[in-house]
Amino acid sequence: MAIKLRGHNGEPRNLAYDEARAAYYSTKRDEELSYIRSGGDTIFAGSNQVELFLLCMALAKYANKPPKELKKRVNNIPTNAMGEGGKWLILALGVVDNKTLTCLNDEGPLYTEAEKYAEAGFEVLQSLLAHHGGGFGQYLEITLRKIAEGTIE
């Protein structure tokens, strides 16, 4: 039997990224720095802001990077555009960090912490892209496969 929630307690309307990252999160076709714009040349081309945000968040956690404060918040990622899987990923991160389920009583702080992880993870992502260049997609795929197989931590 699947658990179905009627709503998330304290879920914000939007997630934020730092203003310094706005061009990278842009969906405008004429934004050259955008990682997700349709027709772009990154592996994220055609993806959405939620996917980029969640990947950055996961990269920070995987790389053991501490959450990083956003200098100037841009609330531009609607949480209603995020599927339940993404929301549960954020909540799971919060439970792991807080080491208690009671943190689920108010999810707002968990989303704020996820934003900080995404900010830290964005730096990890930029470093990986600089190191692997056009081969980043293949590197990411191989790494994720090794994690799933348990041959890498």
* pLDDT, tens digit, 9 for 90 and up, residues 23-75: 999 988 888 888 898 887 788 888 899 999 999 999 999 999 999 999 999 99
Angle, nearest 10°, between helix axes 84-98 and 108-132? Answer: 100
pLDDT at residue number 4: 47
Residue 3 has pLDDT above 70, yes or no: no
Q: What share of the chain is helix, strand, coil (3-state, %, to 5)?
A: 55, 5, 35
Tokens representing residue 11 in the block = 């879920």
The predicted-structure confidence for 110-148, as pLDDT tens digits, reads as follows 999 999 999 999 999 999 888 887 777 788 888 878 877
Angle, nearest 10°, between helix axes 108-132 and 49-62? Answer: 80
In angstroms, rounded to a whole number, what is the distance separating the alpha carbons of residues 30 and 19? 18
Q: Which residue has the tokens 């055609």?
A: 46
In angstroms, rounded to a whole number, what is the distance separating the alpha carbons of residues 78 and 53? 11
What DSSP assignment string belongs to 100-138?
SGGGGG--HHHHHHHHHHHHHHHHHHHHHHHHHGGGHHH
Residue 1 has pLDDT above 50, yes or no: no
